[in-house]
A and B are shown apart, each in its own frame.
Chain A
Amino acid sequence: MSTDLQSRTAAPPVKRARAPWKPWRSNIGLKIAMAVSGVLMVLFIIVHMAGNLHIFEGREEMNAYAAGLRSFGEPILPHESLLWVLRIGLVASIAVHIWTGIVLSVRSHHARPVKYAHRHKNKGESPNAYFVMRLGGIVIFLFVVWHLLDLTWRTVNPVKEAHDAYGAVVATFSPERWPVTVFYLLALVALGFHLRHGIWSAVQTIAGPGAKWRRRTQAIALAVAVLIVAGFAVVPLAVTFGLVS
């Protein structure tokens, strides 16, 4: 390096106004919040996926399961108490997950303002993480909005009777409404990739395992993602292909 160069100073890094630094507001602190909220949602969707399989027992059992979710704990607990615990927990988890996702994405954007002229294929352990988490997350969010309009509030579902969960599922995935099934399956693919990275990434962030357990967590994450996707996909496929009607 020439002496001329040593005497030069670089441009000062761009400073952004920010609230005082607190550990939980650091990049790692926010990532831990994101990981914990993600784990809670994974636990929920495993239960949700298992519950969906009641559809294969027929209309009576499926609707009894749906009613059971509402009357759970009665008469000691009020009506829908389990559902309200789940709703509040889910809304809180989703809010934390999306908020931390936006803040960390914006910080990443500032941390890498200039792209490389020569793009090279990624070769890390989760080479597509950046893409499947951020873009996949948006796809999953849009799907959840549709899903609530369809099967919870029934706004876009032909079956309006709240107690007939079976009828609503059969109606929405009926063969002539095949685009709904395709959209559902595409959202599941996005969810699968999101989970495959998200599960091991959450464990890495919260627990910080050694190299051996990181590899094992990656394998477990893949297995859980495949199980969840398969468990969810079997319902619309069965209805669309007339196995459940």
Chain B
Amino acid sequence: MKLSLRIWRQSDAAAKGKMVSYEIDEVSEDASFLEMLDVLNERLISEGQDPVAFDHDCREGICGACSLVIDGQPHGPQAATTTCQLHMRKFKDGDSIDIEPWRAGAFPVVKDLVVDRGAFDRIIQAGGYISAPTGTAPDAHAVPIPKQDADAAFSAAACIGCGACVAACPNGSGMLFMGAKVTHLALTPQGQPERATRVLGMVAAHDEAGFGGCTNTGECAAACPKEIGLDVIAQLNRDFRKAAVRAA
């Protein structure tokens, strides 16, 4: 395959970036999107140029490190798929592909396609955990949890924290991420003691980091590689309202 790429290049956080065009030849259909960028980078290095910086880690679709807004869509055109699991067979020979970093005030660009997602860590630090020592995993039947709740908690816990929801949101809101964490812990018995302080703390950290509000447009859920739905934002709203009323 032959492709024309337009990639966001920005030498450092302070620099003014721009889209730069690259032609790339003989791309295998079986290559993943990141492998295609690896091929480009090999060439750039051999030519003595600065390779394109991008985040990646497991390349199995489970770690949340990879990002990239491909043709205006976080993680590219294939639904429920991370960039590392996107393959070049999804594109046609001769295609022109635009690659940009996540765009959000709370996710400043570090270099090229790499953004600082530390704002998500700060949200988690503000309450997205259980502070009681829980020891080793309990026996499956030791703590009864209704099947429905266990399934919903597990679906929410599938969030890999990649930030595609923020990248897709026209308001740069992190509510799908935050909702997933709140829901996951709100549906399990272990999450109950800190349920109210958790949601208040996380919402404060979310706003403090500069994320926007939710307009229920649903772009986040459409972009989520783990198919987390708007019901986690509903749970977040509900828990926040109850906790805020009780705190007032």
Contacts and interface: CB of A to CB of B under 8 A. Distances in A.
Contact of B100 (A27, A113, A117): A117
A124 B218 contact: yes
Contacts, number: 197
A59 B161 CA distance: 64
**Interface band, chain B:** 35 or more
A152 to B, nearest CB: 31
Contact of B71 (A10, A107, A120, A207): A120
A210 B230 CA distance: 9
B222 A111 contact: no
Interface stretch (A45-53, A198-206, A225-233): A198-206
Contacts of B214: 27-28, 31, 205
Q: Which of B14, B55, B111 has the most CB of A within 10 A?
A: B111
A45 to B, nearest CB: 21
Interface stretch (A69-77, A89-97, A125-133, A178-186): A125-133
Contact of A112 (B6, B14, B105, B248): B105
Given A112-B171, A120-B73, 17 more contacts: A5-B114, A11-B108, A21-B207, A23-B244, A26-B207, A27-B175, A30-B213, A31-B214, A31-B237, A104-B171, A104-B212, A107-B171, A112-B212, A117-B8, A118-B98, A126-B217, A210-B234
Contact of A127 (B14, B111, B217, B247): B217
B236 A28 contact: yes
B69 interface: yes
A129 B217 contact: yes
Contact of A113 (B56, B105, B206, B209): B105
A95 B231 CA distance: 30
20 contacts: A1-B114, A8-B110, A10-B115, A11-B14, A13-B105, A13-B108, A13-B119, A26-B204, A104-B213, A107-B212, A116-B69, A122-B217, A124-B217, A125-B216, A126-B218, A127-B219, A200-B216, A204-B216, A204-B233, A204-B237
Contacts of A194: none
Interface string B90-113: 000000001010011110111100
A201 B209 contact: no
Q: Which 8 A-B pairs have the closest CB atoms?
A: A124-B218, A120-B72, A111-B172, A111-B212, A208-B238, A125-B218, A27-B213, A10-B116
